[in-house]
Chain A
Amino acid sequence: MNVLVVDDSSAMRKIIISALNKTELRGSRTIEAATGKEGLDKFLDGNFGFILSDWNMPEMDGLEFVTRVRKVDNRVKIIMITTEGTMGKLENALDQGVDEYVVKPFTPETLDRKIKKLLGVKH
């Protein structure tokens, strides 16, 4: 499976990819994007099963990125990785097409639980 990791922080992309290697998605091909726009371009060029996206990014934030992805694809699983823990905002993100969210800082186990839930894998 191809996994798109969108985050303006290269540090966070590395953390996410390192954590992914300890989840149900280990062994997947990961593609990185540093902005929402770059993420959208790569998404449109590829065949992705999962997207892990930051929320707070310059120019195109994660929510706008997700909204644009959802205009063309309703099947890809999207996890928002964010420091945003405000329930109202998280509910809004879920309404916009985010499937799950992980609040930073997180452990690989937390990410794995969310991924398994979306894949329908029993714990």
Chain B
Amino acid sequence: MKADVSSAKLNEIAERVWSMVLGLPLTPAKCDPGRAEASAFVLGRVTISGTWQGSVTLGCSPALARRAAGAMFGKPPAEADPGDIRDALGELTNMVGGNFKTLLKGDCRLSVPDVVDVVPYAEVKPAPVEHLWFECEGGLVILNVLEASTGRSRTT
């Protein structure tokens, strides 16, 4: 089954989660692979199984992930340890994925999130895909929704 969720709705979900949980603004940004290819990312992922099969990933730079962990736990970013960073990105991914799942038709189940510490851009963007880019305090946030059947991300 195809998901029928617009990119505008995905934008809204990501911006709402980011601002409500972290109190930080998340603004849509232009897709610019040249800017991302030199960067490393911390990547959170949840999988969805059921009438729709796929995954939702949320990637951001290690510095921004640290900033997010600091905001989530009310501590200076420099004091956020790797466990805080994994927990923070995992929970943000869980919320974005869970809110996306709610928009799917039929019965679907969300996995618990897993977080990969540092990956290159190529692992954030399985080619060829479209995905949503955001910016937060000068750092990149990349949201992907990947259908298992095609291996392609979808944003409409």
Contacts and interface: CB of A to CB of B under 8 A. Distances in A.
- To the question of whether A and B form a pair in one complex, the answer is yes
Interface of A: 8-12, 14-15, 18, 56-58, 82-86, 104-107
Contacts of A107: 20
B20 A85 contact: no
A18 B90 contact: no
A56 B99 CA distance: 13
Contact of A11 (B20, B91, B97, B102): B91
A72 to B, nearest CB: 27
B147 to A, nearest CB: 20
- Is the interface on chain B under 10, 10 to 19, 20 to 34, or 35 or more residues? 20 to 34
28 contacts: A8-B112, A9-B87, A9-B94, A9-B113, A10-B87, A11-B87, A11-B91, A12-B91, A15-B91, A18-B74, A56-B94, A56-B110, A56-B112, A57-B112, A83-B95, A83-B98, A83-B102, A83-B110, A84-B102, A85-B99, A85-B102, A104-B95, A104-B98, A105-B20, A105-B21, A105-B95, A106-B20, A107-B20
Contacts, number: 54
B14 to A, nearest CB: 11
Tell me what chain A mostly uses at the interface: helix, strand, loop, or mixed. loop
B98 A56 contact: yes
B43 interface: no
A107 B20 CA distance: 7
B117 to A, nearest CB: 16
A15, A56, A85 interface centre (most CB from chain B within 10 Å): A56
Nearest to B113: A9
B152 interface: no
Given A105-B17, A106-B20, A9 B90 contact: yes
B90 A15 contact: no
A84 B87 contact: no
Contacts of B97: 83
B67 interface: no
A50 to B, nearest CB: 21
A56 B91 CA distance: 12
B58 interface: no
Nearest to B73: A14
Given A9-B90, A9-B91, A105-B21, 10 more contacts: A11-B73, A11-B88, A11-B90, A14-B72, A15-B72, A56-B110, A83-B97, A83-B102, A104-B95, A105-B20
